[in-house]
């Protein structure tokens, strides 16, 4: 297959060659089980996982013993939410989250509601921002957890976690964030942000799929979770199962690279994103940016093209990999729940495209994509009777 221009890095990122290089020995000469403590193969594997644990802890500014390895962010979110609810249920049953969370949080909340939890789903403003004062107002005596996504996977908007974290600390409520899209792309300091649980995924920061981590605070406060996978007592008893040593090593290396290169890389990606936006909006009318432009991940650009159906546009962009929303819900015909929460109309929500630029994109690719998007939108609009009516100043509701 001819290689496409890839601008869907929010869905997954390619494994960085340096990450792959670090992983390869774990498949062959250093293939031991990290739980085998009686011989050198196991000792090597354990050393590799503990080195990776240090690398992950460093990028979050936490201690090594606070990192629990998982199969990815979905498991991390499940362990965080279900784990808190299971252990602290005697204290209360109320959970606060937002309307724009990833389905890996929203679906868990629905399951917990069936188990007796009361969940408050906070709205966002038109820019996609959760008001910290709304969090404050929603907290009750029975609130045990607040879970707010750090950077949204569809619109890239970054929340004010520090303000929310301060409120949670003041009220003695645990604070979890799904930081999958943010870690490795923008600075993250768990101490400064006041978070108690953080979900991380390797394949969103140029590591392998099937590996993630959950930060679980050990002090002030000490967070206790009810385990969700039992059988062997691995990972401090919170996540039983043989450790995926190659994947864990890959996650650690990806975090190490991001720690060193994030600042410069973020500036370069932001310049490409801004150039993409400018080249499109300077040539197309009826273009809508979804989400705040400033409080946003460097590589995210979510646009709605009025009078164009999003799926038709995607099919017209031959050789370009972008998406119409979250990869986890792309098979659904329903409009994005994130865009609906922003107040975007159903028509515009269906006309949205997410461009997510990453480490391996180039400015030449940006120019090619912008040109092809403009050409495709103009061609599709030329086939639209509605667009022609609007251009002529005729409102559809006055034509009868």
Distance in angstroms (rounded) separating the CA atoms of residues 162 and 69: 25
Partners of residue 380 on adjacent β-strands: none
Question: What is the rounded (10 degree) CA torsion for 319, 325, 327, 330?
Answer: -90
Tokens 């509601």, located at residue: 113
Under the phi-then-psi rule, with left for phi > 0, alpha for psi from -120 to 50, and beta for the rest, what region is 235? Answer: left
Partners of residue 296 on adjacent β-strands: 157
Among 202, 180, 201, 208, which Cα is nearest to 20's?
Answer: 208
Q: Any catalytic annotation for residue 328?
A: yes
Q: Alpha helices, DSSP H only, in 159-296?
A: 161-171, 190-193, 245-281
Burial class (CB in 10 A: 0-12, 13-18, 19+), 50: middle
Distance in angstroms (rounded) separating the CA atoms of residues 383 and 277: 24
Residue in 26, 109, 255, 328 annotated catalytic:
328
Which residues are known to be catalytic?
328
């Amino acid at each position: 297959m001819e290689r496409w221009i890839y601008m869907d890095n929010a869905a997954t990122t390619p494994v960085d060659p340096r990450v792959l290089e670090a992983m390869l020995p774990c498949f062959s000469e250093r293939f031991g089980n990290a739980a085998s403590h009686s011989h050198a193969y196991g000792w090597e594997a354990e050393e590799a996982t503990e080195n990776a644990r240090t690398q992950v802890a460093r990028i979050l500014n936490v201690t090594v013993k606070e990192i629990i390895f998982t199969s990815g962010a979905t498991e991390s979110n499940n362990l965080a939410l279900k784990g808190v609810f299971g252990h602290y249920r005697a204290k209360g049953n109320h959970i606060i989250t937002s309307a724009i969370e990833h389905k890996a949080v929203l679906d868990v909340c629905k399951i917990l509601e069936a188990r007796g939890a009361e969940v408050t789903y906070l709205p966002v403003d038109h820019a996609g921002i959760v008001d910290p004062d709304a969090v404050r107002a929603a907290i009750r005596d029975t609130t045990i957890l607040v879970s707010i996504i750090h950077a949204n996977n569809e619109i890239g908007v970054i929340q004010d976690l520090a303000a929310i974290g301060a409120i949670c600390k003041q009220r003695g409520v645990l604070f979890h964030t799904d930081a999958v899209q943010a870690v490795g792309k923008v600075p993250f300091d768990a101490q400064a942000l006041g978070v108690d649980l953080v979900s991380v995924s390797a394949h969103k920061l140029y590591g392998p799929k099937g590996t993630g981590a959950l930060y679980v605070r050990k002090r002030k406060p000490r967070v206790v979770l009810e385990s969700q996978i039992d059988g062997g007592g691995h990972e401090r008893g919170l996540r039983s199962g043989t450790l995926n040593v190659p994947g864990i090593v890959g996650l650690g290396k990806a975090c190490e690279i991001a720690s060193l290169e994030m600042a410069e890389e973020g500036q370069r990606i932001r310049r490409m994103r801004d150039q993409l936006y400018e080249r499109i909006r300077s040539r197309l009318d009826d273009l809508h940016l979804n989400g705040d432009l400033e409080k946003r991940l460097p590589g995210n650009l979510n646009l709605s093209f009025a009078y164009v159906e999003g799926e038709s546009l995607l099919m017209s962009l031959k050789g370009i990999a972008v998406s119409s929303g979250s990869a986890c819900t792309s098979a659904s015909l329903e409009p994005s729940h994130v865009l609906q929460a922003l107040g975007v109309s159903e028509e515009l929500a269906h006309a949205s495209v997410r461009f997510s630029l990453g480490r391996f994109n180039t400015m030449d690719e940006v120019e090619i994509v912008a040109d092809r998007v403009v050409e495709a939108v103009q061609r599709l609009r030329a086939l639209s009777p509605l667009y022609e009516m609007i251009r002529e100043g005729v409102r559809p509701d006055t034509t009868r």
